[in-house]
């Protein structure tokens, strides 16, 4: 492939969809910004966080101090732990039902509420609308996660406005973690612009209502960000914990498993056992679409993160990516039946998103993958790591439920 540059330290390339730059030594902006984690005075930064959050404590004690967006996976436990047990704030947890719930995810969410003795608000959007929007975003943009991300990024802001709780606390900023879009020193906060440009892939909810889509205002109003007047009158702001403490999701998750019994799961398509355990589709059909469109999948993100934290060598990371990225995708049948289309049509639809840059069509049935991992070369003169085996960090002790064929766990409205 012409003009493609790979980072000499991690596995990201100049093709990264969030945008990436390289220094004169061939190290990417994500790796450079990661170096700040070992240089910054985190004690000082955490004190800044304490001061900042103190200002939002409810004086009357008749309201919550802040909002934490949570799910049955991801960093929900760690954020709640920091906010509740270390900062001693009284948070309101909010969660948008994504409908592709696994049993592990629901158990994690229930356990979170109990272990942290916190109140939680759940949003269950009208299922018919969710299906319509999902079908449209899949057909048009090759994305099944648009309504989920739109819902989970806007719901906390709506609740902040409605309940007059101005402070929203998120985990890490993806743009900082993956590609070093900003320095930790920029103290970047949640913004409408980043949400639209990156979280939602440049697609605004209002654009979904058009002649082709068969969607109307009722289907999409819950995905629309509150207007500036509403946000400013309450003073809503969203901060990222990753700017105030040294963010390391793997170690954080291991701590959450030990302390609060966070449940983990093996996956077919990556070695990580902590991320997205609450969803049947994120590490399957959603990950497949990533591979189709961008030529790499989530295992590359996990591998890059582990290289940067010094737990695996670049060679080992390449080996892991190659062994996982083309593994079987599970739960396609369930998704097709949820969307009320047959499996053949779903597969046909998915094939439309194979980017010709990364996929060669031999004949009607056979494709050849020539994704990014085919072009990465091992670096000579790499320092050897004498670390514990990667298995030490990524062992799931829970019964492997997410890889079994079972139905989405239903709660709230509909099926």
CB of 15 to Zn ion, least distance (A): 13
Token pair, residue 263, equals: 């449940």
CB of 387 to Zn ion, least distance (A): 19
Segment contacting Zn ion (CB under 5 A): 2-10, 82-90, 109-117, 180-188? 2-10
The single residue listed with the structure tokens 């701590």 is 255
Nearest residue relative to Zn ion (C-beta): 7
How far is residue 289's CA from residue 269's CA, in Å, rounded to a whole number? Answer: 13
Site for Zn ion, residues 218 to 277, rule: CB under 5 A: none
The single residue listed with the structure tokens 């879009």 is 181
Site for Zn ion, residues 193 to 222, rule: CB under 5 A: none
Task: Tell me the site size for Zn ion, rule CB under 5 A.
Answer: 5
CB of 183 to Zn ion, least distance (A): 16
CB of 31 to Zn ion, least distance (A): 3
Site string for Zn ion, 390-409 (x = CB under 5 A): --------------------
CB of 165 to Zn ion, least distance (A): 38
What is the radius of gyration, based on Cα positions, of the chain? 21
CB of 5 to Zn ion, least distance (A): 10
Site for Zn ion, residues 7 to 36, rule: CB under 5 A: 7, 9-10, 28, 31
Asked whether position 176 contacts Zn ion by CB under 5 A, the answer is: no
Segment contacting Zn ion (CB under 5 A): 1-9, 295-303, 314-322, 373-381? 1-9
- Closer Cβ to Zn ion, 82 or 376, answer by number: 376
- Closer Cβ to Zn ion, 21 or 230, answer by number: 21
- Closer Cβ to Zn ion, 10 or 176, answer by number: 10
State how far Cα 335 lies from the chain centre: 20
- Closer Cβ to Zn ion, 84 or 302, answer by number: 302
User: Rule CB under 5 A: which residues touch Zn ion?
Assistant: 7, 9-10, 28, 31
């Amino acid at each position: 492939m012409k003009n493609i540059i790979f980072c000499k330290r991690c596995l990201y390339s100049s093709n990264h969809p969030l945008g990436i730059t390289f220094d004169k030594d061939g190290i990417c902006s994500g790796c450079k910004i990661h170096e700040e984690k070992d240089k910054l005075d985190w004690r000082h930064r955490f004190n800044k966080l304490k001061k900042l959050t103190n200002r939002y404590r409810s004086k009357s004690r008749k309201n919550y101090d802040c909002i934490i967006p949570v799910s049955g996976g991801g960093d929900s436990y760690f954020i709640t732990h920091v906010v509740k047990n270390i900062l001693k704030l009284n948070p309101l947890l909010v969660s948008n039902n994504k409908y592709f719930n696994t049993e592990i995810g629901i158990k994690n969410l229930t356990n979170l509420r109990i272990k942290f003795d916190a109140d939680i608000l759940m949003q269950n959007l009208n299922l018919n609308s969710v299906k319509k929007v999902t079908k449209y975003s899949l057909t048009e943009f090759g994305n099944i996660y648009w309504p989920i991300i739109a819902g989970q990024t806007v719901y906390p802001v709506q609740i902040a406005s409605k309940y007059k709780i101005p402070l929203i606390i998120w985990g890490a900023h993806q743009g900082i973690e993956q590609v070093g879009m900003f320095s930790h020193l920029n103290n970047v906060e949640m913004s409408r612009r980043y949400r639209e440009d990156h979280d939602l892939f440049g697609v605004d909810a209002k654009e979904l209502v058009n002649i082709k889509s068969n969607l109307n205002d009722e289907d999409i109003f819950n995905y629309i960000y509150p207007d500036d007047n509403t946000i400013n009158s309450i003073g809503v702001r969203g901060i990222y914990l990753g700017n105030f403490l040294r963010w390391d999701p793997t170690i954080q998750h291991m701590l959450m498993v030990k302390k609060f019994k966070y449940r983990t799961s093996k996956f077919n398509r990556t070695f990580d056992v902590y991320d997205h355990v609450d969803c049947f589709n994120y590490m399957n059909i959603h990950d497949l679409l990533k591979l189709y469109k961008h030529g790499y999948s989530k295992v590359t993100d996990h591998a890059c993160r582990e290289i940067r934290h010094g737990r695996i060598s670049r060679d080992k990371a390449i080996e892991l990516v190659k062994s996982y990225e083309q593994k079987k995708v599970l739960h396609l049948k369930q998704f097709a039946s949820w969307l009320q289309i047959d499996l053949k049509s779903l597969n046909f639809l998915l094939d439309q998103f194979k980017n010709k840059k990364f996929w060669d069509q031999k004949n009607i049935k056979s494709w050849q993958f020539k994704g990014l991992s085919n072009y990465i070369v091992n670096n000579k003169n790499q320092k050897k790591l004498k670390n514990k085996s990667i298995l030490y960090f990524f062992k799931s002790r829970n019964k492997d439920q997410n890889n079994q064929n079972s139905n989405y766990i239903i709660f709230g409205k509909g099926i």
